[in-house]
């Protein structure tokens, strides 16, 4: 007889004690309470290519599964449960979602496809597991050990520790981002925050590579947050970042898009500091670019006396904006042909037309970029997609 509430109680005990690596043992012991023979957490790796058993899982309990061509991968990419009847019971996979952030899947071996009430209970269990993973990950390295499939360079370690989750959604508005190469990124960064009706979004591309670029990106990112949290306007935020870069890294610069979206009205405001314009997509087509740049790159603002200019545009429900660094559009194939803005726009439009969820569209985009450059990126490639729907 299933007893999902008892499973919940056992898992909830991990809120006050235990580590992420203790979760697999507790979950395995709770499996019979869920009418399951086995229950396993599989987490997505940094490259978003494979799902791996959370560290602490019995080595014989589960194996890594690819995202492509598996039902576990389909549960991850679609954020919907998947079922496989293998004649001797079956396997059920449920997405592990922390808010809109995709962490992996919950894999259950069961004798029969669960009835509707139990499936709903299992969805609650999956949501609880996602919350536990997200909260416990900072008290040990089990989650990081699971997600890393190769050593991470120090510059990338610094950047990843500065970033928010890749995906966030509130009241119909979504922002989702990707970074590549995930184990060696150093100069690109993004940030967002939702305060009241305002969604703040920023994308940064620092000059240089490696540790120096990582340090510059860290200063830029945290100066941006400090200005935002101090209530500064877009113009004054731009000036603040510019001042600190100039004082701490004379001669260095960072290109950036600093934006604000009023989620209640769709009013979009932004400054381009020497950065490429975002793609502006509506009703299956690309609209003309917004004017850019409106300021010199951050760190070079003292070279002109004119203040940064804010560009404003009114979005319509369903509009999509794609912010990107030049590592996306300047990716080159073996013949030297650029990936380009038109190919980028076409890729995103095709994905949206197919009904592919935004986070999955971005995952596929970065895989397309890596493939285009034959798995050897010449530059950091970062993009952030913003979708607005009136709430």
- Domain of 137: which CATH number? 3.30.450.40
Q: Which residues, at least 6 apart from 56, have a Cβ–Cβ distance to it below 8 Å?
A: 20, 21, 22, 23, 24, 25, 142
The continuous run of DSSP H or E covering 27 comes out as helix 23-30
Say if residue 228 is in the same domain as residue 316.
yes
User: What distance in Å separates the CA atoms of residue 18 and residue 22, rounded to the nearest whole number?
Assistant: 6
CA dihedral 347, 353, 354, 359 (to 10 degrees): 60
User: What distance in Å separates the CA atoms of residue 159 and residue 177, rounded to the nearest whole number?
Assistant: 14
**Tokens encoding 153:** 């360079």
Q: State the pLDDT at residue 127.
A: 96
Q: Where are any strands of DSSP class E within the chain?
A: 36-44, 50-53, 65-66, 82-85, 90-98, 101-110, 167-170, 173-180, 188-195, 198-206, 254-262, 267-273, 279-282, 285-286, 311-314, 320-324, 381-387
**pLDDT greater than 80 at residue 301:** yes
CA dihedral 61, 65, 71, 77 (to 10 degrees): 120
Last residue of a domain, one of 147, 166, 199: 147
284: alpha, beta or left? (left if phi > 0; alpha if psi -120 to 50): left
Last residue of a domain, one of 131, 147, 163: 147
Question: Length of the chain in residues, anyone?
Answer: 391
351: alpha, beta or left? (left if phi > 0; alpha if psi -120 to 50): alpha
Enclosing domain of residue 44: 4-147
Query: What's the mean pLDDT in 158-183?
Result: 94
User: For 34-55, how does the pLDDT look when each residue is reduced to its tens digit (9 = 90+)?
Assistant: 999 999 999 999 999 999 999 9
More confident call, 254 vs 305: 254
Say if residue 44 is in the same domain as residue 59.
yes
Sheet of 188-195, strand order = 188-195, 198-206, 254-262, 267-273, 311-314
CB contact at 8 A, 103 and 41: no
Say if residue 141 is in the same domain as residue 159.
no
Q: State the pLDDT at residue 29.
A: 94
Least confident segment among 6-20, 245-259, 353-367: 6-20
Is pTM beyond 0.85? Reply is: yes
Say if residue 90 is in the same domain as residue 51.
yes
User: For 122-141, how does the pLDDT look when each residue is reduced to its tens digit (9 = 90+)?
Assistant: 999 999 999 999 998 999 99
Domain count, the chain: 2
**What mean pLDDT is reported for the chain?**
94
- Domain of 289: which CATH number? 3.60.40.10
User: What distance in Å separates the CA atoms of residue 114 and residue 94, rounded to the nearest whole number?
Assistant: 12
The alpha carbon dihedral of 174, 175, 181, 185 has a sign of negative
User: What distance in Å separates the CA atoms of residue 244 and residue 232, rounded to the nearest whole number?
Assistant: 15
Say if residue 375 is in the same domain as residue 349.
yes
Q: How confident is the model at residue 2 (pLDDT cuts 50, 70, 90)?
A: confident
Query: What's the mean pLDDT in 168-191?
Result: 91
Say if residue 203 is in the same domain as residue 126.
no
Q: State the pLDDT at residue 1.
A: 62
- Which residue shows structure tokens 């009023």? 262
Say if residue 16 is in the same domain as residue 158.
no
At residue 54, the 3 state secondary structure works out as coil
More confident call, 172 vs 51: 51
Say if residue 310 is in the same domain as residue 256.
yes
Q: What is the percent of the chain with per-residue pLDDT over 90, rounded to a whole number?
A: 84
Say if residue 178 is in the same domain as residue 266.
yes
CB contact at 8 A, 232 and 204: no
**pLDDT greater than 90 at residue 253:** yes
**pLDDT greater than 90 at residue 379:** no
Say if residue 214 is in the same domain as residue 142.
no
User: For 346-375, how does the pLDDT look when each residue is reduced to its tens digit (9 = 90+)?
Assistant: 999 999 999 999 999 999 999 999 999 988
**pLDDT greater than 70 at residue 384:** yes
Say if residue 242 is in the same domain as residue 316.
yes
Say if residue 142 is in the same domain as residue 167.
no
Last residue of a domain, one of 93, 127, 147: 147
User: What distance in Å separates the CA atoms of residue 134 and residue 223, rounded to the nearest whole number?
Assistant: 26
Query: What's the mean pLDDT in 187-211?
Result: 94
Query: What's the mean pLDDT in 369-385?
Result: 88
CA dihedral 264, 266, 267, 269 (to 10 degrees): 110
Query: What's the mean pLDDT in 258-285?
Result: 97
Q: State the pLDDT at residue 208.
A: 81
Q: How confident is the model at residue 376 (pLDDT cuts 50, 70, 90)?
A: confident
Tell me how crowded residue 112 is: count the other CB atoms within 10 A of its CB: 10
**pLDDT greater than 90 at residue 382:** yes
Q: What is the percent of the chain with per-residue pLDDT over 70, rounded to a whole number?
A: 99
Q: How confident is the model at residue 305 (pLDDT cuts 50, 70, 90)?
A: confident
């Amino acid at each position: 007889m299933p007893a999902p509430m008892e499973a919940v109680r056992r898992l909830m005990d991990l809120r006050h004690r235990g580590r992420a690596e203790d979760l697999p043992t507790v979950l395995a012991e709770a499996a019979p309470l869920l009418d399951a023979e086995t229950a396993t957490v599989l987490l997505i790796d940094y490259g978003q290519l494979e799902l791996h058993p959370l560290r602490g899982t019995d080595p014989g309990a589960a194996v890594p599964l690819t995202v492509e061509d598996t039902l576990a991968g389909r549960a991850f990419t679609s954020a919907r449960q998947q079922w496989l009847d293998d004649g001797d019971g079956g396997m059920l996979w449920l997405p592990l979602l922390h808010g809109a952030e995709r962490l992996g899947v919950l894999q259950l071996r069961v004798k029969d496809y669960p009835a509707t009430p139990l499936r709903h209970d299992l969805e609650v269990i999956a949501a609880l597991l996602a919350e536990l993973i997200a909260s416990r990950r900072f008290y040990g390295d089990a989650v990081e050990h699971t997600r890393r499939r190769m050593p991470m360079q120090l510059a990338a370690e610094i950047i990843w520790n500065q970033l928010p989750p890749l995906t966030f959604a509130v009241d119909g508005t979504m922002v989702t981002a990707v970074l590549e190469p995930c184990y060696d990124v150093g100069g690109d960064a993004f940030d967002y925050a939702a305060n009241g009706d305002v969604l703040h979004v920023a994308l940064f591309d620092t000059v240089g590579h490696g540790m120096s670029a990582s340090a510059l990106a860290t200063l830029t990112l945290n100066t941006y947050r400090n200005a935002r949290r101090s209530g500064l306007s877009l113009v004054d935020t731009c000036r603040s970042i510019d001042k600190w870069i100039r004082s701490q890294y004379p001669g260095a610069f960072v290109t950036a898009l600093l934006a604000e979206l009023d989620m209640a009205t769709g009013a979009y405001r932004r400054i381009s500091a020497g950065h490429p314009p975002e793609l502006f997509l509506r009703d299956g087509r690309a609209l003309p670019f917004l004017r850019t740049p409106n300021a010199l790159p951050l760190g070079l603002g003292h070279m002109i006396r004119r203040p940064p200019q804010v560009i404003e545009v009114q979005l319509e429900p369903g509009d999509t904006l794609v912010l990107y660094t030049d590592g996306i559009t300047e990716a080159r194939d073996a013949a030297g042909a650029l990936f380009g803005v038109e190919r980028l726009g076409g890729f995103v439009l095709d994905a949206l037309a197919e009904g592919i969820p935004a986070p999955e569209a971005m995952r596929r985009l970065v895989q397309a970029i890596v493939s285009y450059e034959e798995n050897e990126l010449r530059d950091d490639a970062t993009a952030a997609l913003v979708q607005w729907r009136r709430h």
